[in-house]
Structure 1
Amino acid sequence: MADQDPSPTDIAQRDIEEKERKAREIAEQSQLPYKWTQTIRDVDVSAPIPANIKGRDMEVVLTKNKLKVAIKGQAPIIEGDFPHSILVDESSWTLETTPTPPGKEVNIHLDKVNKVEWWPHVVTGAPKIDVTKIQPENSSLSDLDGETRAMVEKMMYDQRQKESGGMTSDEQRKADLLKKFQADHPEMDFSNAKMG
């Protein structure tokens, strides 16, 4: 049975469900005592704190898999396990004065170990966001590390080759190997050889 295109009613229902999901997500995130944003490489968290608090009054624990941010002697502002590991040496926290409203803010920068994965939340006990709906920021190849850049360039080359009817890099490599093997073994008959 062939797939049918969704009807206008189905599309409208999906739009309504998507808007409700997004509104629920926004409401859940706004209830958190902190705000957070992320890129594919890192996560930034900020939480307002009273103006009279100094750095020595804070208890901030950053490990590879856990985070705790609290004013000493008070319940944590945020505490729990990360959904994915961080690079502790590349992560940090600061206490900054905010002009409006006058006060302070603790800012936490978390450098992700896995630079190709979106986080559904900062800590696993917090409400999740739908990571499939994230629109990644535009980036250039020069932003990528060598290994990732090479992989992306290969994928782009292969896509261009497919679109133009040419061979992908893997197909080209196999053809080159076969050509070399044929040159090294002229005594063998390759007339019925097929590339797979």
Structure 2
Amino acid sequence: MPESARDRFDVIPHAQGRIGAHRAENPGMRGWFVLLWAAVATAVLIAVGIFAAMLAMGRISFDGGTPVPSVSRTATASAPALDTSYAVLVLNATTANGLAASTRDTIIAAGFAGNAVAASDASTQDFPATTVYYKTEADKSAAQALANLIGATKIGLSDQYGDDVVAGQKQLTVVLGLDLAKNAPTTEPTPADTSGDGSAG
């Protein structure tokens, strides 16, 4: 068979590299993917950490039990105990009739001996704040307990009052003030008690 003549289509040029249009990758897209995966990984680590902490504290249980809530304990100072071995003198330093007598009844009802609690009028009628007076530091807690009982707002150290009720017996003195008088019921004056227990207005 006769050989055909060669033309330009039979000439193959040497390779000159890649021919055509090629788009380069967008570096911004790769950065967003990295940030997204970093955020997902961080969220997973945080969730795992919280779960592990709750499991360690007993907030999560796999045995079906009820989680026990944590309880914060706050120390509270206990109120002093009422000491009924004291004699008590109640002085009404207001114009409220019957205030000393009603206070005396409250004190006796709390356990104090009736013959060791006396009620009388003070020399003044405008004493501002009800106060329980005690003679020595050893009597302070007893004075505070009595103040709590009758609603006195203050306690004070004073040697002005002695054993006015029972000779030789430790004594607390209550001076009733206007703070209690404003809440006291209005009563008519009554004759002084002559039974010898020392009760008065």
Which structure has the larger Rg?
A: 2
Higher strand share: 1
* More relative contact order, 1 or 2 (CA 8 Å, 6+ apart): 2
Short-chain TM bin = under 0.3
